[in-house]
Amino acid sequence: AQKVTQAQTEISVVEKEDVTLDCVYETRDTTYYLFWYKQPPSGELVFLIRRNSFDEQNEISGRYSWNFQKSTSSFNFTITASQVVDSAVYFCALSEANKLVFGAGTILRVKS
Amino acid sequence: DTAVSQTPKYLVTQMGNDKSIKCEQNLGHDTMYWYKQDSKKFLKIMFSYNNKELIINETVPNRFSPKSPDKAHLNLHINSLELGDSAVYFCASSQPALARTDTQYFGPGTRLTVL
């Protein structure tokens, strides 16, 4: 069975600090997709990124960057110069036969 | 334009009642889903429909019955509500078959409270 582990339950940082959210996954599939979603206090689930298993290039989007390492089965998410608006629950997920298997989520609190 | 919408946003009801949650997507996707988020924020798939056909049923009690009248709609009907059904229910859609993408886009969620 596929599994996604987000070992950090909660992280607190001060504004402008960099923060990395860890995600480790397990799968027997050779082709798979990994995702990050953000759930702000308002409750909706916002798609951030999708990465397929053949593309190990790191990706940067503004203050967000993602480090995908197949050798360690990790897909970590870094927020540079964090802001209060980044406070949310962040979920890592793995696709399996058209369903998403989610990690337990990491609560990120950014204090001003 | 709302991509995936759900109604109602909040639902408060008594144990034993029957209730429905509606979901609509205007993305032209073929596949729709229902996920349940429990009080600890854990998200788990319940059902998935592709072109109105059920393709995933994750050991959900029979009291939960999804209905897909067309590929843009996936409603969730719950009979004989129990306290443990209290959760946030998310609808999502994706287009995996056509574009080889598994990105699922989620609705705003429906917070169900069973008293």
Kindly tell me if the per-residue pLDDT of A30 is higher than 90: no
Q: Which residue has the tokens 């129990």?
A: B82
CA gap B13, A43 in Å, rounded: 21
Provide the 3-class DSSP secondary structure of residue A80.
Answer: coil
The C-alpha of B37 sits at a distance from chain A's nearest C-alpha, in angstroms, of 10
**For residue A55, what are its two tokens?**
């593309």
Question: Smallest Cα–Cα separation from B47: which of B65, B27, B23?
Answer: B65
B90 in reach of chain A (CB within 8 A): yes
Check CB contact under 8 Å for B102 and A98: yes
Cα–Cα–Cα angle for B52, B56, B60, nearest 5°?
A: 115
Q: Which residues contact A88 (CB under 8 A, 6 or more apart)?
A: A38, A39, A40, A41, A107, A108
A41-80 pLDDT tens trace: 999 999 999 998 888 888 889 999 999 999 999 999 999 9
Q: Does B102 touch chain A (CB under 8 A)?
A: yes
The 10s digit of each residue's pLDDT in B24-60 is 999 998 899 999 999 999 999 999 988 888 888 887 8
Task: Specify which residues A36 forms β-bridges with.
Answer: A49, A92
- Selected for mutation to probe chain B from A96, A98, A101, A107 (highest B CB count within 10 Å) is A98
Average pLDDT, chain B: 91
What is the pLDDT confidence band of residue B99, given thresholds at 50, 70 and 90? Answer: very low
Q: Which of A44, A50, A99 sits opposite B106 (nearest CB)?
A: A44
> Rounded to the nearest 10 degrees, how much is the dihedral formed by the CA atoms of A66, A72, A74, A78?
-40
Query: Measured between alpha carbons, how far is A94 from B45 in angstroms, rounded to an integer?
Result: 12
Residues of chain B in contact with residue A104, where contact means CB-CB under 8 angstroms, are 40-42
Over residues B82-93, the mean pLDDT reads 96
